[in-house]
A = this chain, B = another copy of it.
């Protein structure tokens, strides 16, 4: 299984305009693919031209949601070299998701090797323009061509990649967030900590409602008591409360973000008091009234740091950082993107060069 077969794309596509990249729409010339079955385990690792999959209409992933994925990025530094950001963290998390979804484990080292190989083949697709990067989507799907409602006996692991622009076209910008009261994304004992389709499917409805009301995303509350802060679907959240920076503790229903982890490590290294703990909406409201809740931001691979200018709970609007970018948000954004794009030193050894 150490061999990766390579089939070169003989009809490479024209690359999209780097100044008008839409997220997740333009794919590179190649993709990585391998298969799993009970007899052979993971086998037939190959890099092939990017193109449609032929799937049985009965296959598990189309009916029973047995699918997991990851999201990560490759960045081009000022010298034109390509770097990844903590890629092993992604493959480790993919395996934790796989475990929850009854999907066989992948060899993390081999997955990284395959990714490096794939990036090298499509290296010209890593964009050069300020703020751009190559988005990488490893994913696993159950492909048994049968309707039995049990874990699949066949799987595919794929990696596809697409050049993406800066998340905020006009630079870092505060967003408005809405605390969701009706719908629930995930619950303790469920699969909220896993990066799997069902969690996103469950959140579409609330996102649509929020968008109609002019909010960019919803903030999820816990499914049991509906009063503790969880996450924002596409990102984890942090709150500056006096001299404490608080983020919800990982208790099974929240995605263990890699940007989240990096933010915690950065803040601690800067001497901040960071708490991973339970945080209720009531505590937030109370702190806001006292002038003690001053800043909020999200963290995630796509936007890196996303400052929040307005948080609405029922009919209460909490305006944060004067509706502007908070001080800490800006500092974290500069530091993290600085490390990612190779403009700052990397004291934690988070980046990995694609040779």
Task: State the A residues within 8 Å of B (CB).
Answer: 22-25, 27, 31, 50-58, 61-67, 69, 100-102, 135, 137, 139, 141, 145-151, 158, 160, 162, 182-191, 196-202, 204-205, 207-208, 223-224, 226, 233-234
Contact = CB atoms under 8 A, between A and B. Distances in A.
B24 A200 contact: no
Contact of A204 (B57, B66, B187): B66
A159 B191 CA distance: 29
A190 B31 CA distance: 34
Contacts of A52: 54-57
B54 A31 contact: no
Contact of A67 (B65, B162, B187): B65
A100 B183 CA distance: 10
Contacts of A145: 25
Contact of A50 (B55, B57, B150): B57
A64 B223 contact: no
Given A25-B146, A224-B224, A204 B64 contact: yes
A259 to B, nearest CB: 16
A201 B204 contact: no
A270 to B, nearest CB: 31
Nearest to A152: B204
A201 B198 contact: yes
B57 A54 contact: no
A191 B187 contact: no
Given A137-B63, A146-B24, A160-B58, A189 B197 contact: no
A156 to B, nearest CB: 9
A216 to B, nearest CB: 12
A58 B197 contact: no
Nearest to A26: B146
Given A63-B69, A196-B201, A208 B147 contact: no
A53 B146 CA distance: 14
B139 A62 contact: yes
A147 B23 CA distance: 7
Contacts of A149: 200, 233-234
Given A54-B54, A196-B201, 20 more contacts: A25-B145, A25-B146, A27-B58, A52-B54, A52-B57, A57-B158, A63-B137, A63-B197, A65-B67, A101-B205, A135-B147, A149-B233, A182-B189, A183-B189, A184-B189, A187-B187, A191-B202, A198-B198, A198-B201, A223-B223
B139 A65 contact: no
27 contacts: A23-B147, A24-B146, A27-B57, A51-B57, A53-B54, A53-B57, A57-B158, A58-B160, A65-B67, A65-B196, A65-B198, A65-B199, A66-B204, A101-B205, A102-B204, A150-B207, A150-B208, A184-B188, A184-B190, A187-B224, A189-B226, A190-B202, A191-B201, A196-B201, A198-B198, A198-B199, A198-B201
A234 B150 CA distance: 11
A63 B204 CA distance: 13
Contacts of A207: 150
Nearest to A33: B57
A348 B163 CA distance: 59
B24 A204 contact: no
Contacts of A226: 189
A175 to B, nearest CB: 15
